Amino acid sequence: MVHSMPIDVVCTGCSRHLEVDEEFAGQSATCPVCQTRFDVPSLASTRELSEPANWSMKTPEGRTYGPVTKSVVDRWVSEGRVSHDCELRDASDHPWESAAHKYAVLRPGAGIVTARGNPFAPSPFYKSAAPQSPSLNGDAVQQRSSFLAAHRGGLVLALGILAFIVTCPVLSFLAWIMGANDLREMREGRMDPSGMGMTQAGMMLGMLLSVLTIIGLMGLVFYVLFRIAL
């Protein structure tokens, strides 16, 4: 007969050390002494605690996270927190290697959508064990937005409108460039897409005034050349 290994837990009410069978991992339990209910760690969590924390990750922007266990890195990859151009190493004295080399699923063309950012941030794919209700939809959006870079839709729109009011080509070019860059970040899953509408509107205003400015400058140059030719 195979016996399961007990999970060591600490009661949150009386701080007593208790042993819980593996079959109750990830569930709620009641302390037999003080009757306090507490959550039993999942098997994945207990395995992570027993693993050596010697893995680190470096993003393309140069930010380093870790050291953490291999199980944590596996979870980051499964949740889309690691992109193919990140680097990983399994010991502090080992060289950095491409994440795509360590995980074949991250190689370009493998069909997985990845995102950059802080892997310790709340997961955008988190699902509560409690029954879902319509009132939780806003929380889910907020959790996903906290993982992505904040959008600048309001700023881009303000620059586009202000450029038309004061007829400033510098502001129009800025709105055009910022808007195009932010829309690309949203399409690639690295920026909060809730500001896409404002970003598009600001970029179009900036683009329109910028094109009119270019046409006006070209017309002025042709006019000056025509006058000189006469």
pLDDT tens-digit series, residues 109-129: 654 444 445 555 544 433 333
Q: What is the DSSP letter of 191?
A: B
pTM of the model: 0.39
Lookup: tokens for 10: 């600490």
CA distance 215 to 198: 26
Query: Quick one: pLDDT at residue 124?
Result: 43
* Domain 7-49 and domain 51-106 have a common topology: no
184-211: per-residue pLDDT in tens?
888 877 788 888 899 999 999 989 988 9
Q: What is the mean pLDDT of residues 44-57?
A: 69
Q: What angle do CA 207, 210, 212 make, to 5 degrees?
A: 110
Mean pLDDT over each residue of the chain, to the nearest integer = 75
CATH topology for the 7-49 domain: Rubrerythrin, domain 2 (2.20.28)
Q: How many CA atoms lie within 13 Å of 88's alpha carbon, on the beta-carbon side?
A: 22
Give Rg (Cα) of the chain. 27
Q: Domain coordinates of the chain in residue numbers?
A: 7-49, 51-106, 153-229
CA distances from 7 to 2, 38, 71, 105, 198 (A): 16, 13, 18, 32, 51
Q: What percent of the chain has pLDDT over 70?
A: 71
CATH architecture of 51-106: 2-Layer Sandwich (3.30)
